[in-house]
A and B are shown apart, each in its own frame.
Chain A
């Protein structure tokens, strides 16, 4: 059998027929060619596949495409707006928060979710929020700095907007 789904991905409505067992991550990568979302494990552990579903970070390897029918999804490809990098993307570049880049999209999606809820997280809150994301390259040191950079940048831009 197949299931018909409609999702809004990075602002664009997409429709597709999928086999029920199609994992969301395979749907993104193989049906929509959004290959920025990666698969690093089988056990919902590593977070390389993290995306935002209706504003919340989620592991797209542990969901069926059928489950997100009608949802709004943001992937790493949807972070930059009008050619401007999202502050978290800037943070990762400025603070050398990535090396091989494979865990980076998932790591950034988790960080975006954190900063949406907690605009000024402490180091320990950042580390705790990243508990579902593995990185083998950076030792997390500069990832923490990257999130702090983005947090500051977002706070400052909000202040400016108010002023």
Chain B
């Protein structure tokens, strides 16, 4: 292998470091207009009237649309991509999500009117002249409060604001019985608070319609351009899919928030067709806070029972999940199939049950955010483990060693079947944890901690041994669970006549480095130089189809699709080579860039076969010319990255401020193609997970106002808030995909949060504090120390 396993420097970097990246807002089209979306300042209000008459007269204004215009045109609302049914089998409540509202606003930032003008300044100026008469209504923002009788209703046809209820696991009475018989039960009330994704590039959409061809083009900040095209054409606008090109050029981070097909995308396409000029809308940061899909927001009661030796006997979870005011693309799936299914963790828990209620609230819609459901599951499990150890006076490491699922490779030993509907692929959880403990020098730490306590210094250590389900996902499985799309991926490999290779992938790279990693795979499989491979993504006119990038799926699913096409090319090459070398196909083997007749030195190179395929003068009979294959890869199972994270913190006893001193992460993400890139993915995830533990969190007041909707109020982790990370890896190959990879994008964000919170609880042990709500702000910690 020349490239696989090596930290090849990224081929995409040059354009970014020279300022030549091409982000959506960088695009300027001839005659382009600019849009400003007027948004609701209220969380819940009836709109009595909208007066646009003054605004229409403002300088530069071309057109102003309100919800009435959209409704009259007969277009649909923004759909969700997943359907979950009530426990009793009824379909979930799926209220409409209009592009622009007509009579009621349901969250701060809800779309009211779209002002289109010659310049963005004029659009903004005109928007200030629109008069909206609101009748204010009560709002609710907490998911548990929303389900209470008498809570203000978000949608009239969803009683108690319940979108659906749901359960998973062993029969509830079996779990109740297991807990009844437990020697000890640890019970925690947990809030996995709402966080704002905050990709640094704000969203942007440009709609363009060409009357002469009837063709639409949408340039957008999306993680999944094809999915956006499908949703927009089939469900929202009813325009022909083949006449629509969706381009997601360079995208400045997504973290889940750019999965959702947003109203502004459909709005720009719809309006550009009516006005006949391209129209751009760019979000500013305040809008991003109010309208980018948020993440997490669970209220949970969790109970774990243990026998007298510390073996887990059962787990009972009761969660209220906040969906926000409308259903985003993955909203119904995140708290259910991406959350409930992970409650086995890496432990042998024999009985598990989760009861979940998903509610609407007067808040920004919630969607997948780095980890999506799996961080919430991990948080409750790992908080329970460290708390149980404390309560049972056991060491938290010892408690984990007692409960780990024993190692299995998924080949010699079968996959591990959980109580919550999954079969883990392969894992070596104990080894991973041991490595992390070695790195932190655990025994020594406890001594140091003891000394520090004597000197009035509060050091703490926290653990988290997590597992996640990635590489989403087998289409038939997710279809049975309510997905309205398949979750395969598409990979096309085109060997050009000169032997250069163009690869078209439905995965989208917005920081993950696909242009390098995928090229490493292709170059190695073909035995050609990396420079001879070009990865193309993000344009629905170039790439046949694709489901996009999320759920740590790109390499495991998208990479596997590419490998399938590579295999087809090599197989076809076998035929061409056999013909040229005058040998039987059975005697041909491909290695290191050439086809060879086994046991001889007769061979033909990659470039020669490519040329022959396109200039088929001397060519095998019955074989088509060309060397270009496309494949759909539908994974056989999820992949299951796992790891052990350890945080070391110090708490300032005078102020409650937590300083993260060390962070150790040992992750098993299966085989690794580019260690440098995988490390980078882990680092980024860690910062986000640590951010949630210590700093971040959307705060809604009683009126449904998002109190901290700016960087002056919402704490983003900065360089001087974080230490350098200490990371390592164990590689247990995934047995069911050709690359043996499991995915690395979300791992850091899943494992780190509970490790940090557990560390702070450990530091506060002398104060007898067991549980605090995130983020662990100085005041929260200090107040707890006072009581």
Contact = CB atoms under 8 A, between A and B. Distances in A.
Contacts of A144: 719, 724
Contacts of B20: 36, 77
Contacts of A19: 121
A82 to B, nearest CB: 13
Interface in A81-95: 85, 89, 92-94
B625 interface: no
A96 B200 contact: no
B481 to A, nearest CB: 30
Interface string A116-159: 00000001101110110111111111111000000000000000
Contacts of B680: 96, 99, 137-138, 141-142
Interface stretch (A1-9, A40-48, A62-70): A40-48
Contact of B199 (A76, A94, A98, A136): A136
Nearest to B688: A136
Nearest to A101: B16
B285 A101 contact: no
A39 interface: yes
A138 B684 contact: yes
A143 B687 CA distance: 13
Interface in B195-233: 197-202
A71 B240 CA distance: 52
A46 B719 contact: no
A136 B19 contact: no
Contacts of B512: 99
A34 interface: yes
B476 interface: no
A40 B200 contact: yes
Contact of B200 (A92, A108, A136, A140): A136
B712 A45 contact: yes
Interface string B712-755: 10001111101011000000000000000000000010000000
A35 B253 CA distance: 17
Given A76-B18, A99-B512, A139 B200 contact: no
A59 interface: no
A42 B221 CA distance: 19
A38 B23 contact: yes
B424 interface: no
B718 A99 contact: no
B278 to A, nearest CB: 15
B683 A142 contact: yes
Contact of B9 (A41, A85, A94): A94
Interface string A95-112: 010111111110010000
A101 B250 CA distance: 9
Given A21-B121, A137-B684, A141-B725, A36 B285 contact: no
Q: Which of B14, B200, B253, B512 has the largest count of A CB atoms less than 10 A from its CB?
A: B200
Interface string B747-771: 0100000000000000000000000
Contacts of B103: none
Interface string B5-29: 0010110111111111101011010
Given A126-B719, A127-B719, A35 B9 contact: no
A48 B16 CA distance: 13
A137 B253 contact: yes
Given A45-B711, A46-B711, A127-B719, A100 B18 contact: no
Contacts of A92: 13, 17
A46 B18 contact: no
Given A126-B719, A139-B687, A100 B711 contact: no
Q: Which of A37, A79, A94, A141 has the most CB of B within 10 A?
A: A141
Contacts of B26: 29, 35
A41 B285 contact: yes
A55 B510 CA distance: 32
Nearest to B253: A100
Given A136-B688, A139-B725, A93 B17 contact: yes
Nearest to A126: B719
Interface in B663-716: 676-677, 679-680, 683-688, 710-712, 716
B286 interface: yes
B719 A43 contact: no
A43 B718 contact: no
A114 B710 CA distance: 27
B286 A134 contact: no
B725 A93 contact: no
B513 interface: yes
Given A38-B252, A92-B17, A136-B253, A100 B511 contact: yes
B636 to A, nearest CB: 30
A154 B23 CA distance: 31
Nearest to A102: B252
Contact of A143 (B251, B677, B719): B719
B19 A76 contact: yes
B33 to A, nearest CB: 14
Given A43-B710, A141-B724, A100 B201 contact: yes
Nearest to A80: B18
Contacts of B531: none
B255 interface: yes
Contacts of A140: 683, 687, 718-719, 722
A103 B711 CA distance: 15
Contacts of B688: 136, 139
Contact of A100 (B7, B28, B251, B685): B251
Contacts of B683: 138-142
A46 to B, nearest CB: 6
Contacts of B624: none
B200 A135 contact: yes
A90 B120 CA distance: 36
Given A35-B23, A100-B253, A130-B718, 6 more contacts: A42-B710, A77-B20, A99-B680, A131-B718, A134-B198, A140-B687
22 contacts: A35-B26, A41-B285, A42-B284, A43-B710, A45-B710, A45-B712, A45-B716, A79-B17, A79-B18, A93-B14, A96-B7, A96-B9, A99-B684, A102-B253, A103-B200, A104-B17, A108-B17, A134-B716, A135-B200, A136-B253, A140-B722, A141-B724
The 9 closest A-B pairs by CB, nearest first: A36-B19, A102-B252, A101-B16, A139-B687, A100-B511, A99-B511, A45-B711, A76-B19, A139-B683
Interface of B: 7, 9-10, 12-21, 23, 25-26, 28, 121, 197-202, 250-253, 255, 284-286, 510-513, 676-677, 679-680, 683-688, 710-712, 716-720, 722, 724-725, 748
